[in-house]
Structure 1
Amino acid sequence: MVRKYIRLVQVIALTICFLGLSAQMNAQTYKVEFGKNRIQYKYFDWSYFASENFEVYFYDGGRDIAYKTIEYLEGEFSRITETIGQLPYAKIRVFLYNSIIDKQQSNVGVNAGDFTIGGQTDFIQSQLELAYSGDYSSFKTKAVYSVTEMLIEEMLYGGNIAEMFQSSFTNSIPLWFTGGIARYVSRGWDSESDDAVREYVASTTEDKFIKLTPEMNILLGQSIWNYIAQKNGQRTISNILNLARIIRNEENSIERTLDTPYEQFMREWRLYYSEANTLLKESYLEPDVDNIVSGKNREDYHYTSVKFSPDGKFLAYSAMSQGQFKVIVRNLGSEEEKEIFAGGLKLINQETDRNYPILSWADSTTLGVVYAEEGSNILAVKRLGTKGEQKIRIPLLSKIQSFDFKDGGRLAVMTGSINNVPDAFVYNLVRGQVQKISDDKFDERDVSFYPGSNQIVFISNRSTDSVFVSGPDKLEAVEMNQFNVYGYDIDYPDSSFRRMTNALAVAKQPLNIDGDKILYISDQQGIYNLYRYSLSDSTSVQITNFLYGIKQYDFNYDLGKVAFISNFDGKDGVFVQDLNVNASMFSPVTPRRALQVARILAERRRERLGEQYEQLDSANSQTVSPIEVKSPLQQLDSLKAGAINTEEYEFEIETKVDTRNYQFEQPATDRGVNNRSFLSIYQNANNENSIQGPSPYENRFQTDNVITTFVIDELRSVSQLLEIEMNDYLENHRFRGGILIPLSFNSGYDIYGEYEYLKNRVDISASYHRKSLVRIDQATFLNQRFNKNTFQLGFAYPFNHKLRAEFNPFITETRYIDRDIRLLIPANNPSQFIPEITSDYIGFNSALVYDNTIVTGINLHQGTRAKVRYESHFKMNSDAVSFNNLELDVRHYYRLNKAIYLAGRAYFGTYFGDAPKKYLLGGVDNWAFNSTESSNAEVNPLDFQTLFDNSDVLFHQFTNLRGYNYNTFQGRNVLTFSGEIRFPINQLLSNADLKSNFLKNLQFVGFYDIGSAWDDLSPFKDKNNLNTEEIRNEGSPFSAVINNFSNPWLQSTGVGVRTMLFGFFSRVDVSFPIRNFETLNPKVQLSFGYDF
């Protein structure tokens, strides 16, 4: 009766689960924990400013930029929230880092995105991390993007606890939808998105972006939101987003809001951009595929730099992917390529600096590579044909934007930032000294030397050529869309820089090629193309007309060739081709640029009218303020000397505008709602001068996630798990605690708690775990309790982001209590009976953990994870017996193509010592309606009898092998291998309209498992524990050893289905067991969980 009752409880519990009254199964977890690392190279002492809607946290060197940031974000707050139709649930916390290098040391989200446990409800917080990008103009865009992205996530997945709980059951909204709107709010319709959509609509007919890179998803999403705003108005954006929040489906939200079928909407989006660019194809040229030298870029590399050697024999270019990079040198004569340098670390779920590495040749055989390593900026000097390289730590600068050697390599110029202020610098490599060239608050970019000279050319958004003008004090006043070419002679400091170009456009990468001609790229006509500026006559001429913008380039005058990076098949490509620098051409303005001009003209007229009214109202009281002149800074040596130049340069708008030679900046209205509401104006008025602080950071804790789920335990059947995890804002302190209660209520329980301190290089933890197992059988009067209490300290040292060493000392106590009521009767109580036995152990476990996997979908990974673990238990009293354990778990995931994955797992474990425990082979984790084999061994590891202390059951381990029952084989050693080929349907049918959660997560798998468990004789030997049997008659001096020729290996092969069913990631496997060289009847196993 009891067993029938327990079985009935199991069925009822599973039925409740499938009705969705709980979250997913807890055993959707790996028994072996892997995980990645974050390394702290420096100490962060945080403070913060507070305002009406924000708290901006900063540390040493970040006070000034933090104040500017909170000031700027308050000004942008109304525009952002009105555009997307969402206000934050709490004040937004912004943790501001001085550089991406520093941000990579943060513990926030270290294992975000991985699938390790079901039933987890993540709490969405009004919090974000923001790294200073190196200059003010790009930082403004980045700040707005980050805030918008956070608000969108909070809108779709946040809210009260009920809404967050509901979000854990629904499909995630695709990246093009969420990232696209964040980029549109921060950038409007920019040239990069225009390039991406122009190429996409011309080269493909697919309207599903699942096969594209994340970057392309965001860019195309930006173009979709721009199309919606252009056709239906800005306010339509918030309507679509709020409907998506309710129905959790991006396609239906667009369809219902616009009253247009989604397929028709996508056709109209495609037609909108293809028609807009029809005329461009007649005047612009696509890069010739025959000139590409980087191949098809199947690895989705982002190419960061391209440089010719001074003698023109070699071309160097760098390729970056998720933080790892390589530098390739191509022999232009033989067309052979060689990887000469590699660095970086594969960063998962972290921002990477896409500007690194930066390349520059010191001479024809010596290449410099600037990159980040261990929290610092490094210059690696590599000589071709030799082993090794010289590494130099670049002092002072937290971010380097550009770098260029002077001939000979003893001097270099660079642009970057110190204390979050962008400037240009001279770097003396011999002395290791850095000196400022500029010393102001304008943005300097892309500096380089004239050939054989100490003259430099660079890009700046300065409004004056005076060396001494301080620049804008607020981010709001920073020019974002007007960058011109400037020159300077560092040998002859002057009071002004030489302005070379004067266009309302964004210029990049100036390069003096012969003393007179300076090449640079500009978006003057809407697409970044090459221009030539002549010093002799001060004229600029367009010399290329590529259809897709140039991202990076270099030109060799002797060869007459240009190398550049541009779009190719939705990815980066490196091209090399001939270039006539004396040519000139005209290209029409793109529709995007023409619309920009019209908007700016209207905005400029409104501004001028406003200024005229202000002058009339204040004519009698207006005072003239002098230009702010800053005193020389003492932090670094300045190269400037001379008198103060107070001259300001003003740009006037002419009545007639030549769109070829006169370009205009993008106004703020292009990035958001044109007309502000009265409420937003009132809010901004109240927010003025409301910034408080700085105040010191305090460790305030918040709930990170809650787990409410069920576990199907091998011994205790169905159990309820409740767990809560809390952490401080920076996740340097983490608390986790939970309880596991079997639904039978008399099978025992688990209680555990853990604290982690992750602020320093060495991670420290302390934990307590109590496991209680109760076995009751009323028919046999069996009533036993087995308890295990473990107190553990933990120390983890990360070598890098994917490899760490662990050392965890512990104290463990096991207690056996026999509560058989018959033993209370003296006649039934043997004298040697001890009703309670306590065993005490002291020991340690140590491990080496490697994990470089990335998540590519639900239950889909790429990469390798491995763990080798050693554990020792030393006895502390007479009832304890020492034992040891060694385990190795290796898993590798390989993507065959865009929709087929291979996954393999090898596992080995051994117990040894005075009292080795057992591995029980067979079954799967979280197996519904499971079965356990009765052991034929002399001592059954799962046998519970009165007067028999089986506390070893607290240490035995169940090991998976599909197609078999639990405990099919047992032994103190185990070895298994599992291989799977996985077919995710949503990736195989990337163009299909899969709206069902069941179909989107559907996977078919084929698998093969093999394994064995043994005691002394290995299954690799002819005589082993499985095929050798000793027969001995009691009282006889003779015995016989018989070999029954049984196969010591259990095998199975079959197929399976995985999907999300009623909120559970469910697995159904049909296995064909192969035992003793025979294929047995198929076995169907229903289980719940991820991976193997």
Structure 2
Amino acid sequence: MLFLLILPATCCNQTAQKCNLFYTLRMPKFGSILTQTKNVLRYRLIYLFLLAFIFAPALIFAQGMYTTFGQNRVQYGKFEWSYIRSENFDSYFYSGGRELAAFAARVSETYLNDIETKVDHRLSGRVEVIVYNNLSDFKQTNFNVLSDQSQNPGGYSQVVSNKVFVYFNGNHQDLENQLKSGLSLVLINELLFGGSFQDRIQTAALLNLPDWYLFGLTQYIGQSWNAEKNNKLKDIILKKKIKKFNRLIQNDPELAGQAFWYFLVEKYGDEVIPNMLYVTRLSRNYESALIYVTGDNLKQTSKAVMKYFQEQYSKEDTLRNLPVNEFNIKKRLMPYVEPQMKVSSRGDKLVFSTNKFGKYKIWLMDTKTGKHTKVFRGGVKYHAFELDHSFPMLEWHPGGEKFAFIFEKKGKLFLTTVDLINKKKETIQFFKFDKINSFTWSENQKNIVLSATRKGQSDLFVYDMITRRERQLTNDAHDDLYPRFVDGSSKIIFSSNRNSDKLGAPVSPLLAEDNNLDVYLYDFENNSPKLIRLTKTPNINETEPIEYNNNYFAYLTDYNGIKNRYAVRYDQEYDFTELIVQYKDEERTTDTLIFDELKPLGNNFEYEEKQIILDSTVAKIDTIPHTKTIVYTYPITNYKRNIVAHDVSKQSSVLYETIMLGGKYYIKYSPLLKNIPEESARIETYPTMYRLKSGFANKPSATGPITFSERKLKSIKTNPSAINKPAQAPTYDYFFVNEFTPKTLKNEDIVESQPATRLPSAKGFKLAAPSFYNITFFPDYVVTQLDNSIINSYYQPISVSNPFAQPLQPMFKLGAIDLFEDYRLSGGFRFPIDISTVDYFASVETLKKRIDHKLSFYRQVRAGTVEGLPSTFTAKSTSHELRYSTRYPFSPILCVRSELFGREDRYILQGVNRASLEFPDIVQRWVGGKLELVLDNAMPKGLNLYNGTKFKLFYEHYRSVDEKDVQLNTVGFDLRHYQKIHRQLIFATRITYNTSFGPAKVRYQLGGVDNWMFAASENGGNAPSSVNYGFQALATNLRGFNQNIRSGNSFAVINSEIRFPVFSYLFNRPIRSAFISNFQLVPFFDIGTAWVGSDPYSEENTYNQKIVEIKYLKTTVINVRDPIVAGYGGGLRTKLLGYFMRFDVAWGIQDAEITKKPVYYFSLSLDF
């Protein structure tokens, strides 16, 4: 339904015509067709645009001034939120996430005191924890959307909130780390910015901490230092040869921050964290805090950090090696290769994937020739969100003639099977899972085993490909990951953080000490509830177990601080027999007897000094044989870098693995070891310095077999219901044998393993019953700044003389959001010294569903003269505008926007004389609509620095309410591309084109820049024409001239510039000063024109006409002047007093001549 606002009118059509607002006398046409010279000039315009397409890697379309872009979030499902309340936290969840919310509440309450101690600050308010069931759902949230960076940062204060957003990826350990990092950020923000709204606004304006410093600290507290981070930093420093801390920040700011804090804690102790934070809050300067606490400035500390890690890593690498053989993948693909790869059973083919900012492709490689071809593509190229590297998931059929992959599309899960022989693809959808973590095929190709997430649990399922039904193997809160069929598909090997080898055993709430992954073996053929445990290593994870050969399994573990491969085998032997004697008398206890070897018993015998009589009082006797499992483990690699993934082809006896070197993943291969014990004896897996300091030795203890069984008499109360139960299944005890001994590592070099800190029991936590969420708004931001922009419509009334020369005026703006940022409110006002001309505006947005809605209201007041009236007449013009807009996103970077609006422009003449008193007010009323196609995949790399492309194509329609035949149409585009030259050095290009048509048109005034202070305007532009203009607008940027150097109902502009952040590019250390870090040199070149008619060289273009009057004769002379103008020069950009300021100096080029005097521009705008 069309929604329009029609404001009251006091002016008739005759008055409008009398004022010459809509109607301009059409001049008679004279002249002939332009000469051949004009045709040559016309081709110059075509050549101009062709040059832009050649030199600009990509281009952009737009509306000109104040063009907005912005990215989107796509909601595929509905989220009905509830929450669980604990003592300090409200944990929010939706369908299927109640257990995750309860887990989040327990973990948050458990770690709160520990994190409070680390930062030396007590939580002063409640914290909202929002839990998503998976990353796909989290990507649909409106949290932290990359909006268009059009707001000048001056006076902008973001209100810090007490919200923590987390998602479940199938691993509770990762969820726990997210919670700790989020809680750390909340506490640090409270400490630094204060707890009240007023404190946070005041402090946010004065304290500006770099992301590497703040988020590096929260990640360090939340996740501490681990093998993955250690491996990544080692690779950056040694392989990429980054020696300067500032380069490390540019490469990975979060990792640089973690390394910085890790170094400080290692050198100065844990108390350095609260000391640094406290002094930072007092001094409003983190570098001053560093000097005060450590005695060293930032430059000295940065050098010390890099020296510390360089020396440590260089020494460690001398003791280790790397596999030699690798596949040669195309150079252009290498930066985007994903770690996951799978090899066929025969070893002749391999599949891997690449992922370029979310746009993934699957490649099939011939392992003999190395040739690889693309077989599938999917995803959306998107910079803003964390990439989900788990998709696509790859796996081969056992026969080697098919492979399958699981991918995600629009929040749904699909499995596609590719038949390489018949060249066919078959796709099925999974309906009952939130996420699939991994999968493999059985040898009969009928089943696949899945690790899948459902209702907040990661369990094992076997999916029948024929019946399309799944059978759940595990059903508990433990994480069961990396399953694979082994031993002829009779067993399933997997990793789990369970602490019992019995399925269905009671599950205690998962806390930190329970979250390490061990390897288990499940008897799928016999459906046994008893698991065989292959590893038991507290605080160490074993992942990706595979069948190495017929005798051994292999898995990855970071026991020595680097993720290496270990082999494991097990034997089962008879251990003992358990005899259970149950009596008819319920009050009598059951006798449980343990025998090394069970022999025939008489009616009376003695057991551990206790007399046992087998008579009529006995109800039942059960005998349970126990088997012991002896496990042998062997290290079989000692690499310099982590093994990220591995797979094996048993038929070809070749092992394939992925290793990261220089930030790229390489696929290596090597033959399988033939004699594992003998080969392992030659491998010395020395611990890294990180592992030594973490409190764990490099290997499991080599003291011989360790038994975990209890051989003692047990007495329990007789349970009558158990008398008729069948005998229990055989049980298994474990001996772990490590057939290796460290050769040269001395005992004093190994730090004793310390017991994990015992955390409070979850039993003490009281969780309230779930409650439904009610919409509540919170402050989002406050803006108090000087501003001279046009806050409502891009088009200004044609009647107002020079509405674009606006002085700086105070502006206040306030924004509010709900908890999930689905609803947004904003409003504000701007006023000059004369408060009678106050502008104000307000808007409300709803972003909860797929289609976004926005309702906006604007009021703008200006004072000045009115075109068409005597210059002695002054008027106050008031514009009211109401806009209703919608946005339908196709993807996070592409959307369609629509808008309906109503507008009234009222001119109230000031009574300066009798004529002005008698003149009635003038009113123009318009209604209309707008349609836009917007693409934005640009990623901010700094203030006014981007990588990527922005594009907009639009159409607008205005219709006069007062004159039925008067309407206005505009169409245009804006294309911008930002190409990285080197590091932060950016080449930015923009092409924009606008045209208006219909009975009324827009007069575009070419020249100048956006938000130009002390703007100057040319009086002429193009000569007066017969065009009927309804509005006027600036066409920017074209530097080298004043505003209105050319005008018309169409314009086209090309801008090209190099953005060179001088000090950020050259300095090798972090820069604290915002003025220095954002200082940019910008050489530029602009070219464009504005015209009337079909093209700039048309005889209709008034610039090509000159009217000559001699007495009673009026003649129009056709000129052959060049309508295209250009400008070149240089500029400075920086952030001063919170504002992003621009200063440009440019020389114009007109009619092949360079202007003698440059034009100076000082403005407060961003981008072009």
TM-score range, shorter chain: 0.7 to 0.9
Structure whose CA Rg is larger: 2
In the other structure, the counterpart of 2:843 is: 754
Residue type of the alignment partner of 1:574: I
Q: For the residues of structure 2 that align with 1:304 and 1:182, how far apart are their CA atoms?
A: 27
- Aligned partner (choices 93, 98, 122) of residue 58 of structure 1: 93
Within the candidate set 1013, 1020, 1027, 1:935 is matched to 1020
- Aligned with 1:814 (options 905, 927, 932): 905
The whole-number CA distance in structure 2 between the counterparts of 1:1027 and 1:171 is 57
Tell me what 2:1088 maps to. Answer: 1011
**What amino acid does structure 2 have at the position aligned with 1:554?**
D
Partner of 1:19: none
**Alignment partner of 1:567 is 2:660:** yes
In structure 1, distance between residues paired with 2:524 and 2:277: 53
C-alpha deviation, 1:375, in angstroms = 1.1
| Preserved contact between residue 54 and residue 94 of structure 1 (Cα < 8 Å) | yes
Would you say the 8 A contact 2:1024–2:1102 is kept in 1? no
Which stretch of the first structure deviates more once superposed, 275-284 or 991-1000? 275-284
Aligned position for 2:476: 440
Q: 1:216 to 1:881 in 2, by over 3 A?
A: closer
Q: Distance in 2 between matches of 1:801 and 1:701?
A: 25
2:228: which partner in 1?
192
Q: CA deviation at 1:347?
A: 3.5
- Conserved 8 A contact 2:1008-2:1041: yes
Shift of 1:851: 0.8
Query: 1:207-264 CA deviation, whole Å, 9 max, x = no partner?
Result: 5444448884433433432333233221221112233344454444333212234444
Letter in 2 for 1:590: T
**1:1002 correspondence with 2:1087:** no
* Cα drift, residue 871 of structure 1: 1.2
Asked whether the equivalents of residues 922 and 962 of structure 1 are also in contact (C-alpha less than 8 Å), the reply is: yes
| 1:160-171 alignment runs, 5 A limit | 160=196, 164-165=200-201
Summarize the alignment of residues 1011-1090 of structure 1 with structure 2, pairs less than 5 Å apart.
1011-1021=1088-1098, 1024-1031=1101-1108, 1035-1036=1112-1113, 1040-1080=1115-1155, 1081-1090=1157-1166
Q: Which runs of 5+ in 1 are unaligned?
A: 1-28, 602-621, 630-640, 943-949
- Indicate which of 967, 985, 1003 corresponds to 2:1044: 967
- For the 8 Å contact 1:427–1:433, the answer to whether it is kept is yes
In 2: Cα distance, 1:643 partner to 1:1084 partner? 95
Deviation track 1:100-142 (CA, whole Å, cap 9, x = no partner) reads 1111111122126945433321111111211112132332222
SS for the counterpart of 1:378 is: strand
TM-aligned CA deviation for residue 187 of structure 1: 2.8
Secondary structure of 2:175's partner?
helix
Contact 1:521 1:550 in 2 (8 A): yes
Instruction: Say whether residues 1:705 and 2:781 are aligned partners.
Output: yes
Residue 356 of structure 1 aligns with an amino acid whose one-letter code is F
- 1:491 matched to 2:531? The reply is no
Per-residue CA deviations over 1:938-989 (Å, capped at 9, x if unaligned) read 65999xxxxxxx9945x53443311211122111111111111111124421
Q: Pick one of 664, 684, 688 that aligns with 1:590.
A: 688
- Using the size of structure 2 for normalisation, the TM-score is 0.79
Counterpart-to-counterpart distance in 2, 1:1007 and 1:159: 46
In structure 1, C-alpha distance between the alignment counterparts of 2:329 and 2:187, rounded to whole Å: 39
Distance 1:268 1:118 in 2: 34
Q: Which one is further off, 736-745 or 884-893?
A: 736-745
Sequence identity, in percent?
26
Q: After the TM superposition, which residues 763-782 of structure 1 pair with which residues of structure 2 at under 5 Å, given as runs?
A: 763-775=852-864, 781-782=872-873
Whether the 8 Å CA contact 2:153–2:1138 is kept in 1: the answer is: no
RMSD: 3.8
Q: Give the 5 Å matches for 1:29-428.
A: 31-111=66-146, 114=149, 116-119=151-154, 120-156=156-192, 160=196, 164-165=200-201, 172-203=208-239, 206=242, 208-212=244-248, 216-273=252-309, 276=312, 280-288=316-324, 291=326, 293-294=328-329, 301=336, 303-362=338-397, 363-384=399-420, 389-407=425-443, 409-428=445-464
* Secondary structure in 1 matching 2:264: helix
C-alpha distance in 2 between matches for 1:450 and 1:198: 35
Deviation at 1:697, TM superposition (A): 0.5
Do the aligned residues in 1 keep the contact of 2:237 with 2:243 (CA within 8 Å)?
no
Say yes or no: does 1:863 pair with 2:961: no
Task: Sort the Cα spacing of 1:848 and 1:649 in 2 relative to 1 into closer, same or farther, 3 A.
Answer: farther
Q: How many residues align?
A: 999
Cα distance in 2 between the residues matched to 1:521 and 1:1025: 76
Deviates more, 1:803-812 or 1:187-196: 187-196
User: How far apart, CA to CA, are the structure 1 residues paired with 2:532 and 2:982?
Assistant: 53
Match of residue 1059 from structure 2: 982
TM-superposed deviation, 1:69 = 1.4
Map of 2:18 onto structure 1: none
What is the CA deviation profile of residues 49-88 of structure 1, one whole-angstrom value per residue up to 9, with x for unaligned ones?
2223211111111112212211221111011122123444
What is the CA-CA distance between 1:652 and the residue it aligns to?
Answer: 11
Residues 575-974 of structure 1 aligned to structure 2 (within 5 Å): 575-580=668-673, 582=675, 583-584=679-680, 585-597=683-695, 668-669=756-757, 688-713=764-789, 714-745=804-835, 748-775=837-864, 781-823=872-914, 833=919, 835-878=920-963, 881-935=966-1020, 952-953=1030-1031, 956-974=1033-1051
* 3-state DSSP of counterpart to 1:917: strand
Separation in 2 of the partners of 1:753 and 1:727?
A: 14
Q: Deviations over 1:15-71 (max 9, x none)?
A: xxxxxxxxxxxxxx9711111111111111111122232111111111122122112
What letter is aligned with 2:1096? P
Report deviation, 1:93.
0.7
- In structure 2, the CA distance between the partners of 1:881 and 1:825, relative to structure 1 (3 Å rule), is closer
**d(CA) in 2 for partners of 1:766, 1:963:** 39
Moved more, 80-89 or 573-582: 573-582
Separation of aligned partners in 2, 1:926 and 1:281: 56
Alpha-carbon distance between aligned partners in 2 of 1:141 and 1:623, rounded to the nearest angstrom: 43
For residues 245 and 651 of structure 1, do their structure 2 counterparts lie closer, same or farther at Cα, with a shift above 3 Å needed?
farther
Relative to 1, partners in 2 of residues 1:269 and 1:851: Cα closer, same or farther, differing over 3 Å? closer
Report Cα offsets for 1:464-514 as digits up to 9, x if no partner: 221221322x12266223x32222232321121222334443211111143
Which amino acid is the alignment partner of residue 930 of structure 2? N
Q: What is the rounded CA distance, in whole Å, between the counterparts of 2:457 and 2:1019 in structure 1? A: 73
In structure 1, how many angstroms separate the alpha carbons of the residues matched to 2:171 and 2:209? 32
Please tell me whether the aligned partners of residues 923 and 963 of structure 1 are also in contact (alpha carbons under 8 angstroms): yes
Q: 1:522 to 1:1016 in 2, by over 3 A?
A: same
Which residue in 2 is equivalent to 1:619? Answer: none
Q: Tell me the residue number matched to 2:792.
A: none
Tell me the amino acid that sits aligned with residue 707 of structure 1.
V
Deviations 1:278-300 (A, max 9, x none): 66434311454x73645778985
CA distance in 2, matches of 1:643, 1:1047: 102
TM-score using structure 1 length: 0.84
Distance 1:272 1:825 in 2: 81
2:242·2:248 contact (CA, 8 Å) conserved in 1?
no
Contact 1:922 1:961 survives alignment (8 Å): yes
Q: Aligned equivalents of 1:1054 and 1:873: distance in 2?
A: 38
Structure 1 CA distance, aligned partners of 2:106 and 2:431?
Answer: 30
Per chain length, whose mean CA-contact separation is higher, i.e. which structure has more relative contact order (CA < 8 Å, sep 6+)?
2
Given that residues 464 and 649 in structure 1 are in contact (C-alpha distance below 8 angstroms), is that contact kept between their aligned partners in structure 2? Answer: no
Specify every segment of 5 or more residues in structure 2 that has no aligned partner in the other structure, as ranges: 1-63, 572-629, 700-713, 790-803
Structure 1 residue 165: deviation in Å? Answer: 4.6
- Give the deviation of 1:698 after TM superposition: 0.9
Number of the residue aligned with 2:702: none
